[in-house]
Amino acid sequence: MIMALLWLPFGDNQFPPILQLVIIWIPFIILIVYGQKIQAWTILGEVSRYLNKLKMFRDKARVTMLNYVQKKGTTAEGRARFEELIEFVTILPVDLDPVGIVKKLDHVLTTQDIQLKEEVARLLPRDSTEIERSCALNMVEVAAALNSIYKVVRHFYILGKKSSNVYILAQLQMILPTLLRQAEALVSAMKALEEGQPLGDGVGPLVVSHLMKDVKKVKIARETVMAELEYKGRKLALIKAEGPQGSVGKVDEALINLLNGHYSDASTIIMIDAALKLEGEKTGEVAEGIGAAIGGLGVEKFKIEEIAHKYGIPLYAIIIKESIIEAISIMKKEIAESVDEVKEAVLRIVENKVPYGGKAIIIGVGNTLGISQ
Amino acid sequence: MEELERRENIVSIEECPRCGLKNKRKFQQGDYVLKQSGKCPKCNIPMYIKLIYAEPFKP
Ligand SMILES: [Zn+2]
């Protein structure tokens, strides 16, 4: 349109030379010489908008955490310590010589877990409940995650800005939308934690909690409970983290305890867990398979695979598909409503794979916040 | 941020252990799955919370 207007006054010839210079050659030269700089500026603008959002999320999470612990009666000194905990670092073991690294990793992670838990328990008033402590602890972890996302992005932003390096900035620009969605999910996890609502990740413990509802529960490992259920002549050991406080428990240790005890002759181990769906897959879809269904850095998975192999017991997995964001947000309707389907799948596997009079171990993997037993 | 919070309704589903009657209500602080909550109008026994989830907000 504009080109057509420019053309009009000059008949069917072409631009006068001066106009041609102004509208074609000067911009062309500017773009050649400063093109990359201009690109860097536009990307910088976009990245800095994202960065501001991430900062807002981080601050919001920190404020939510501080308000929560204040409401529960933590002193000003304690709150300052809570702020320091956000910067808490865990140094993972060296993997130059990977033999035996899982044990070292387990040691480091367990120490971190216990250390943070003790610190939070010390900072909260003595009469605080187990639920409040676990929520505060989870909030520290979420706030720390948001803090580290923000800091890493800021690092590359400043680096790119200093060096006007388009390539650093372009990479940042590409991953930022995904990072922002994860940060959003973490913020919404914060809200779930504040109210003690179940997370999408809690679907495994949810199924097991329904199964063990009417039978006696005993503690079998740290923050982990077990119940025995008779089903059509089979004996089922049900394991989940102890709720309704937010914890993933020590299901690996619970399994080891059972296998080294009365359940060494179990015919199957069935693990129920939320699993990452691919884009395009439906949330809450249930799939069955083989193997140890458990996430994390791999310590629990390693231990479970090792003990299952030692006793020669097959591992069955039932997974419920959800995105990473759904896993750390309040449980969605589609996920919650898959519970009955999962329960049926578990009982079907038990009927098919466990002989009459045999035993099976069923583990609900995930964070059991807001889910009792 | 407010947008995030307005998009969803958090509900607790209560169920009667005897007749299976379900009741959907708004989530209240302190609710958790398998907590006793409310009474079944038919059987007059306590119901328990079966599920807690977020559903899309419908005005
Ligand atoms: Zn009833």
DSSP class of residue A39 equals H
In chain B, % helix, strand, coil (3-state, to 5) comes to 10, 50, 40
pLDDT at B5 over 60: no
Nearest CA in chain B to A191: B5
**What is the pLDDT, as a whole number, of residue B1?**
46
Residue A317 belongs to a domain with what CATH number? 3.40.50.1470
pLDDT in tens, A249-266: 999 999 999 999 999 999
In a domain, A114, yes or no: yes
- Reported as a pLDDT band with limits 50, 70 and 90, residue A6 is low
In a domain, A93, yes or no: yes
DSSP class of residue A222 equals T
Domain hosting residue A222, numbered range: 200-364
- Helices (H) and strands (E) counted in chain B, each on its own, are 1, 4
User: Best interface-test mutation with B: which of A206, A341, A367 has the largest number of B CBs within 10 A?
Assistant: A206
Q: Are residues A343 and A252 in the same domain?
A: yes
Q: Are residues A191 and A211 in the same domain?
A: no
Domain ranges of chain B: 2-56
Residue B31: name the closest of A129, A211, A195, A241 by CA.
A195
Q: Are residues A359 and A342 in the same domain?
A: yes
Complex prediction ipTM? 0.90
pLDDT at B12 over 60: yes
pLDDT in tens, A196-211: 899 999 999 999 999 9
Q: Do A336 and B51 touch (CB under 8 A)?
A: yes
Residue type, A200: G
How close, in Å, is residue A17 to chain B by CA atoms? 55
**What is the pLDDT, as a whole number, of residue A1?**
53
Residue A143: name the closest of A195, A192, A87 by CA.
A87
Q: Are residues A80 and A111 in the same domain?
A: yes
Mark which of A195, A214, A244 sits at the end of a domain. A195
A11: left (phi over 0), alpha (psi -120 to 50) or beta: left
CA distance from start to end of chain A: 70
A9 prior amide bond cis, ω within 30:
no
Q: How far is CA B52 from the centre of its chain?
A: 6
Q: Are residues A92 and A217 in the same domain?
A: no
The predicted model gives A114-118 an average pLDDT of: 92
pLDDT in tens, A158-202: 998 888 788 888 898 999 998 998 898 888 888 888 888 999 999
List, in order, residues 6 or more apart from A50 with CB less than 8 Å away.
A153, A176, A179, A180
User: Does residue A294 sit in helix, strand or coil?
Assistant: coil
How close, in Å, is residue B33 to chain A by CA atoms? 5
pLDDT at A12 over 60: no
Residue A257: name the closest of A363, A118, A101 by CA.
A363
Q: Are residues A109 and A172 in the same domain?
A: yes
Contact at 8 Å (CB) between A213 and A352?
Answer: no
Q: Are residues A121 and A59 in the same domain?
A: yes
In a domain, A4, yes or no: no
Mark which of A195, A219, A236 sits at the end of a domain. A195
pLDDT at A309 over 80: yes
Q: A217-221 and A224-231: which strand pairing? A: antiparallel
In a domain, A131, yes or no: yes
User: Considering its fold, how many domains does chain A have in total?
Assistant: 2
Q: Are residues A238 and A96 in the same domain?
A: no
Q: Do B5 and A191 touch (CB under 8 A)?
A: yes
pLDDT in tens, A208-237: 999 999 999 999 998 999 999 999 999 999
Q: Which residues of B touch A52 (CB under 8 A)?
A: none
